[in-house]
Amino acid sequence: MASVARSALCPVRLLLPGRHRRAAEVPPVNTNGSLHVRRAGRLRPGVRPIVLLHGWSCHGGFFGPQMESLGRETLVLAPDLPGHGRSSEMRARTIEAAADAIHALLVAEDLQEVVVVGWSMGALVAWSMIERHGEDRLAALVIEDMSPKVLNGPDWALGTRNGLDAARNKVFMRALVAQWPRLAGATARRCLRKDPDPELASWMENEIRKADGEALCEMWASLTQQDFRPLLPRLTLPVVLACGTDSQLYDAEAALWQKKHVAHARLATFANSGHAPHLEESALFSQILRDLLQNNTA
């Protein structure tokens, strides 16, 4: 079992994105001395804990609004996944390693009935964790604007909207190492709707720019190798498919395909969001999570 070391003497400044930005103190938790985890709230009887898994090039602080609002009601954990944020020095920078690290965190914290939110790359980590360790500790899964297979190909047209395939992906990965952090601005803009909130867009670009290009490339290579289409029909837990109608990364058809292939799935669409509804319509997104907190509901 992984050990957990608390570092309460060194609180993290949690920056809340968007117009509702303010500083909050969140003591970090480190699993195996390497996975950095932001924490808000505490476990409460009859209320499910939440684990928030961020997208590629981001970090756990991108879930600031949810940590602020839901941390008043339950325990909320937002790890920095391998190769990202304060976990950027983790040597194993793969989706599988991230999945194992998150499972180790759940075991170390002795968490049951967990609501797991996977945004973009975080969804791949959640699926991989289920594939490798099962659903036993989970109560519900929220997939935020993600496809089970990122790359397009002869048998799959619901990857990224720009038609990224294996050949083009090789070109992109070469550019990623050579041109980061100059690509941060374009990455941030594609994460939001086409007419984003300027303050939110600026915050996101500044945070993404801090990421390490080499580490990102390793995680990107791993995430573009994933294909969780065979897993989805085997899921038995409730799944919420949250998607922005103005997403520049994934078509709504990707969510509809998942709804068709997951036994207990429902759609939650966000009319004023792109790829990041939890930031662009944070109150509505948090309410959807809040509805999953009671252990007598799905």
Q: Beta-carbon neighbour count of residue 246 at 10 Å?
A: 18
Convert the pLDDT of each residue in 233-264 to its tens digit: 999 999 999 999 999 999 999 999 999 999 99
Separation CA 22–CA 24 (nearest Å):
7
pLDDT the model gives residue 246: 97
Separation CA 275–CA 245 (nearest Å):
9
Domain spanning 26-290: which superfamily? Alpha/Beta hydrolase fold, catalytic domain (3.40.50.1820)
Convert the pLDDT of each residue in 66-81 to its tens digit: 999 999 999 999 999 9
Taking the model in full, what pTM does it have?
A: 0.90
226 or 212, higher pLDDT: 226
Convert the pLDDT of each residue in 107-151 to its tens digit: 999 999 999 999 999 999 999 999 999 999 999 999 999 999 999
- CA distances from residue 287 to 1, 21, 131, 277 in whole angstroms, order as listed: 33, 18, 28, 12
Q: Where are the domains of the chain?
A: 26-290
- CA distances from residue 277 to 23, 124, 219 in whole angstroms, order as listed: 21, 18, 23
pLDDT the model gives residue 13: 37
Please tell me the total number of residues recorded for the chain in this structure.
298
